[in-house]
Amino acid sequence: MLSLGRLHLVTDTRPGRDPLTVVRAALSVAGPDLVVQVRVEDTASDREAYDLAVRTAELCTEVGATWLVNDRLHVALAVGAAGGHVGADDLPVAAARRVLGPSAVLGATARDPGTAARAVTAGASYLGVGPCHATTTKNGLPPPIGPIGIRAVVDAVDVPVVAIGGVTVDRVPALLAAGAYGIAVVGAISSAADPARVVATLLGALSC
């Protein structure tokens, strides 16, 4: 199976947020165990995405952590990311695989077993599955699927399932019990008074 970190920090670029300070804090605790997914708002320019990705790459390189780029695969290639993540509004998984090449990490969003199995057949190396729980970080999502929805996808595929959406420390045990390999987190880390402490707690929960 793919060697991939279990804790994915997805950058928070909503107005008023400071994504690089949060990435720095997270890396100070997690080091090479962290996967940072560079995600910008849909309204951001490619230049803004690139600039954030370059600075994220510098921080991750210092500690040997992995970084991925959401949606914008040309940015992923331009900054030497390990790979990218695509969903229903992005390049199809097979096309994303052609863009990134055979050895890149390619994540795909899946919310049900059928979509998940098709994404894996098309070349996804891990799946982002959710929303597990309600979230205010992203609008327009379908209702939460909970650990039961995670379990349904886990049973349909043989790649790591990364649970996303409203993930908090308290919710990690149930997600792991449902077969999740890892978690992707925005708000629980970015909104914390002490993001480094939350990262340490999440890593502890993931290692149980």
Contact positions with ligand 3NM (CB under 6 A) in 124-183: 130-131, 135, 137-138, 141, 164-167
Element (H, E) at 117: helix 113-122
CB atoms within 10 A of CB 93: 23
Instruction: Please identify, using beta-carbon distances, which residue of 125 and 135 lies nearer to ligand 3NM.
Output: 135
Q: Which residues pair with residue 178 across a beta bridge?
A: none
- Strand bridging mode 182-185 / 161-164: parallel
Nearer to ligand 3NM, 83 or 130 (CB): 130
Could you tell me the smallest distance in angstroms from the CB atom of residue 109 to Mg ion? 7
Element (H, E) at 55: helix 46-63
Closest CA to 100 of 78, 67, 119, 118: 78
Choosing from 162, 167, 198, 202, the residue that interacts with ligand LCLJCK34 (CB under 6 A) is 162
- Smaller CB separation from Mg ion, 33 or 71: 71
Q: Is 84 in the site for ligand 3NM (CB under 6 A)?
A: no
List, in sequence order, every residue forming a beta bridge with 128; answer none if it has no partner: 109, 162
Q: Token digits for 83?
A: 């790979």
Residue 144: CB atoms within 10 Å: 15
Q: Which residue number, 128 or 195, has a Cβ lying nearer to ligand LCLJCK34?
A: 128
Is 48 marked as a binding-site residue?
no
Q: Which residues bind Mg ion (CB under 5 A)?
A: 71, 87, 90
Q: Which residues bind ligand LCLJCK34 (CB under 6 A)?
A: 8, 10, 37, 39, 70-71, 85-88, 90, 107, 109, 128, 138, 162, 164, 184
